[in-house]
Structure 1
Amino acid sequence: MTSDDSSTTATRLPSWANRDFQLLVSASFISGLGNSGATIAAAYAVIDTGGSATDVGVVAAARTLAMVVFLLIGGAVADRIPRQRVMVSANTVNALSQGLFALLVLAGHPPLWQMAALTAVGGTAQAFFSPASQGLVMSTVEPAHAGKAFSVFRLATNGANIGGAAIGGALIAALGPGWVLAVDAIGFAVAGGLRARLSVREAARVEKSGMIRDLREGWREFVSRSWLWGIVVQFAVVNAMTSAAQSVYGPLVSRDHLGGAGPWGLALAADGVGTVLGGLLMIRWKPRRILLSGTLGVFPLALPLVALALALPLWALVAAELTAGVAIEVFGVGWMVALHQEIPEDKMSRVSAYDWLGSIAVMPLGLALAGPAATAFGRTQSLWGSAVLVVVLTAAVLVLPDVRRLERGHGVAVPEPAADATGTALPAAPREGTAAGLPQAPAPLTPQ
């Protein structure tokens, strides 16, 4: 690269957004672009075979159930070996499973068990990927830039949801769900290749003690913070309700009242637009009480559930999804900042695994019961019940003092960056986190 090229790049990107951060963001954008469309495609692959609401829920639940089973193992592994290696391996498995899913759908009408099995394989890979990815972002930037880095990272990832959902819905309507699944497989392969090029220097791994001991240490970190386990319990139910609406009720309401996959893809794209707007907001806005402001942003998640329950016109559903997207991004950025500010870096993947496990533990049950609940109580009543649960549980979390009081830190000391064999400075590894209540810094997901 010439000096002119370097100066041009410098004017476009902030100095902290180094090569590794750019690769990480690019990989997340590409995989997110395919994944957002594939979520819709999987539902319509089941519907196109004549599947019922229960069948759609079973296929969606298979992925989440696999994540629940393997998340703790994935978190322990990611704190033992390089997170980059874990993420690349998971991307490879996802590419293969989605590619086979696409071939089966394009070849005909695969049986339900095959679709459920392949989504379970993808969920297993995600169980290893998610805890590793939570800790890797901070390995690419200095802690002083954590807030902006998280906002930009989520902004790019959520931006992919806009195009992915809209394009995915249009492709499903025009060509069928198989092609969208094939694009997702290619996206995973490309993302894995980009992540393989990362040259981050991670903090020292945990001592080679037994895995059970590692998990116990992570559990102690998790339960010692009321704000952490309280919000995770909240999202265990909130995620179950919203995932049932997006994976089961939403496609069916769209089929019956809005015109099919295209409008539903547009509604999900509006949610993506909202997250982008929320990300832009959070780059500039740094609320002092990050969990209080974030938890208030969970209330609007009930709006899309209400819109679906009332079978409102598309414009109203789009507005509800847009508002929910903005609000949940306020929570998402605050949550990531709180985790990285309060949790020791060498235990981050294990704590993240408990976070993910708790947040999705009820999702398989919610997805599997969405169809039977609609049969027993009616789809409209089930959606209203989901909306009420979101509001009540979010209000309950605000009772916890730490959720109301936890504040953003004012920065931590950044160690001098190490150098690689060529003498090139490497990104500084984040120092061990500041536990809640310690004086080093004032007390400061998830949705996937």
Structure 2
Amino acid sequence: MNARLALSSGPLAHADYRYLVSGATVSALGNAITPVALAFAVLDLGGSATDLGLVVSAFAAAEVLTVLAGGVLGDRLPRQLMLQGSAAAAAVFQALIAVALIAGWATIPLLAVGGVLNGCLGALSGPSSSALTRQTVPADELAKAVAIRRLAQNGSMVIGFSGAGSLVAAFGSGWAIAVDAATFAVAALCFGLIRVPRAVHLDKAPSLIGDLRAGAAEVFRHTWLWLLIGQALLYHLFYGGVQGVLGPIVVGDSLGRSAWGWALGALMLGFIIGGLLTLRWRPRRGLFVGTALLALTAAFPLAMALSDHLPLLLLGAFLHGFGLEIFSVNWDLSIQQNIPEDKLARIYSFDIVGSYVARPLGLVVTGPIATVVGFDRWLLVVAAVMGGSALLSLMSPAVRRLERRSEVAAMV
């Protein structure tokens, strides 16, 4: 009865929203498995921490270099078509990587090339995916739609991260990545069922560069927007190497490979609890509250540095996810409620670029730096930067004073 009621009211009453959430959720399941599988695939091929950083950074660099084009295309072309095409192509490329690993002819350079291709595809569709939410629900249901979508995706990732280590240990990295290929195929089918009007492109700029200039001008028109994108740059510069390079090594060596999967699962559980809280708790100054709780992300690297006990590691990972999710929901809603429809995909692309542009560098240098200064010492530095940068952002009046709207007005 409750499930039937949920489908007959609220965001889930709209078929296009259900297809969007279903595709994003099943894709998130595979995407949670792949980082764990890829990390151990590189290590099993004899790769070092530096090699692992190079492979992961190849994906991150490709995403950053392509995402601006994805934002422009997302404001010019049907966004559901961008999602469907990207998911279908990703299914093919991930299947090829899986076959290479299973057959035993995979190499570290091949894994890096596969990362580049999938990074490009994800970047082309990412801005469209975020911008499409507002087209699938009425304005007064947007806040709940944002929270539900993130909750569904994070729940899927909890399952993926929690089971990834065990899946790799039992069947190998190749079969784990094959699961990701299958989820992309299912996602492509879901995205193909979405039927929403094409967003009206109001900019007069005839070129890619002109569209990007208009998007950049919109970013710098909002102090809270460019400031927190800068904070995200620091976060990913330092934390990207922790999750992509140091985590699998530090936790894998001290507690076992399955423990790293459980730690990522605990992080995602924090996302789930934080997401559930945002369904009920809607602070008037949500961006301020979210940014304050973002400082909790320091708990995960801190736990890695100070303890080799699994419960404390899981607690640190949970607090990281909890604080980050409350911030992310309020951040996403702030963008949805304050950016015009015809620029929305470009703003999301600038958000992704600004946030992740330094991540490839962090992935590459984390291994060498941590080797020189010590893994635990570097983890403490990372924790200080993550927590401190979030708290410093609260000094901006633009962050403290931005208020949530009860309903999204028509934006032109």
TM-score normalised according to structure 2 size:
0.96
Deviations 1:368-407 (A, max 9, x none): 1111112221111111111111122112211111001111
Residue 390 of structure 1 is matched in structure 2 by 386
Q: Distance in 1 between matches of 2:303 and 2:173?
A: 26
Q: Distance in 2 between matches of 1:137 and 1:326?
A: 22
Match of 1:199, SS? Answer: coil
Residue 342 of structure 1 is matched in structure 2 by 338
Structure 1 gap segments, 5+ residues each: 414-430, 434-448
Residue 213 of structure 2 is matched in structure 1 by 216
Alignment of 1:268-287 (within 5 A): 268-287=264-283
1:60 and 2:39 aligned? no
Equivalent in 376, 379, 384 of residue 375 of structure 2: 379
Deviations 1:159-189 (A, max 9, x none): 0111111121111111111111000011001
Instruction: Flag the 1:278–1:8 CA change in 2: closer, same or farther, 3 A.
Output: closer
Equivalent in 236, 242, 246 of residue 245 of structure 1: 242
Contact 2:241 2:362 in 1 (8 A): yes
User: CA RMSD of the aligned region, Å?
Assistant: 1.6
Deviations 1:210-261 (A, max 9, x none): 111111100100111110010001011102222211111110012210012x
Q: Distance in 2 between matches of 1:123 and 1:8?
A: 36
Give the superposition deviation at 1:280.
Answer: 0.7
1:101 and 2:73 aligned? no
Could you list the runs of 4 or more consecutive aligned residues of structure 1 that deviate by over 6 angstroms after TM superposition? none
Alignment of 1:415-434 (within 5 A): 431-432=410-411
Give the superposition deviation at 1:124.
Answer: 0.4
Larger radius of gyration: 1
Equivalent in 44, 60, 81 of residue 85 of structure 1: 81
Equivalent in 164, 170, 173 of residue 177 of structure 1: 173
What letter is aligned with 1:16?
P
Give the superposition deviation at 1:14.
Answer: 2.3
Alignment of 1:428-447 (within 5 A): 431-432=410-411
Deviations 1:97-134 (A, max 9, x none): 21111111111152221110100100001111111111
Residue 252 of structure 2 is matched in structure 1 by 255
Q: Distance in 2 between matches of 1:274 and 1:398?
A: 22
Alignment of 1:325-340 (within 5 A): 325-340=321-336
Residue 347 of structure 2 is matched in structure 1 by 351
Match of 1:79, SS? Answer: helix
What letter is aligned with 2:4?
T
Q: Distance in 1 between matches of 2:267 and 2:8?
A: 27
1:188 and 2:184 aligned? yes
Instruction: Flag the 1:94–1:311 CA change in 2: closer, same or farther, 3 A.
Output: farther
Residue 296 of structure 2 is matched in structure 1 by 300
What letter is aligned with 1:180?
A
Give the superposition deviation at 1:34.
Answer: 1.0
Residue 9 of structure 1 is matched in structure 2 by 4
1:44 and 2:24 aligned? no
Contact 1:239 1:363 in 2 (8 A): yes
Q: How many residues align?
A: 410
Residue 113 of structure 2 is matched in structure 1 by 117
Match of 1:202, SS? Answer: coil
Residue 69 of structure 1 is matched in structure 2 by 65
TM-score normalised according to structure 1 size:
0.89
Give the superposition deviation at 1:11.
Answer: 5.5
Contact 2:157 2:265 in 1 (8 A): yes
Q: Distance in 2 between matches of 1:119 and 1:347?
A: 29
Contact 2:76 2:199 in 1 (8 A): no
User: Which sits farther off after the overlay, 316-325 or 180-189?
Assistant: 316-325
Residue 314 of structure 2 is matched in structure 1 by 318
Contact 2:151 2:275 in 1 (8 A): yes
Q: Distance in 1 between matches of 2:118 and 2:154?
A: 20
User: Which sits farther off after the overlay, 204-213 or 351-360?
Assistant: 204-213
1:403 and 2:377 aligned? no
1:199 and 2:178 aligned? no
1:233 and 2:230 aligned? yes
